[in-house]
Amino acid sequence: MTSVSATISSSRKFSYILASLVFALIAYTPVVYAAGLVPCTGKDPCKLNQILVVIERIIDFLIKGVIIPLAGLSILIAGLYYLSGAITPANKEKAKSILWTVLGGLVLALAASLIVGAILDALGANL
């Protein structure tokens, strides 16, 4: 009975640590990447090219500042599930499911970024 309570307590500690890391990552990201998002100043109105630059910068921010770090964290969690698969075999299948979902999401996000980049190039954005 004590090993079960110790496992639950250990699992809660791990959850708190993981939640703290995710919060720190999310809190740190906008500080680093959000500077210089809008290229036009308050004196001059934004032109079409500058609006396209803003769109490109937002997509770049979302890919580099949000999606890739969260994917890395998800892959880390999948690895931890895979390592715990020696104890509980169902965790190996859960890890594989998480890994394939993350990889599919990354491919989808990067493909969407390429498609939007191609559309912006077709519109004549000089980025």
Q: Is residue 44 part of a domain?
A: yes
Q: Is residue 103 part of a domain?
A: yes
Asked whether residue 74 is domain-assigned, the answer is yes
For the chain, what is the domain count?
1
At 35, list the tokens. 């500077």
Task: List, for residues 10-42, the tens digit of each pLDDT value.
Answer: 667 767 777 777 777 666 655 555 556 666 666
> CA triplet 55, 59, 61: central angle to 5 degrees?
115
pTM of the model: 0.63
Helix/strand/coil (H/E/C) assignment for every residue in 16-58 = HHHHHHHHHHHHHHHHHHCCCCCCCCCCCCCCHHHHHHHHHHH
Residue 1 has pLDDT above 50, yes or no: no
Is there a domain that residue 127 lies in?
no
Domain that holds residue 102: 2-122
- Is residue 109 one of the residues assigned to a domain? yes
Residue 52 lies in a domain: yes
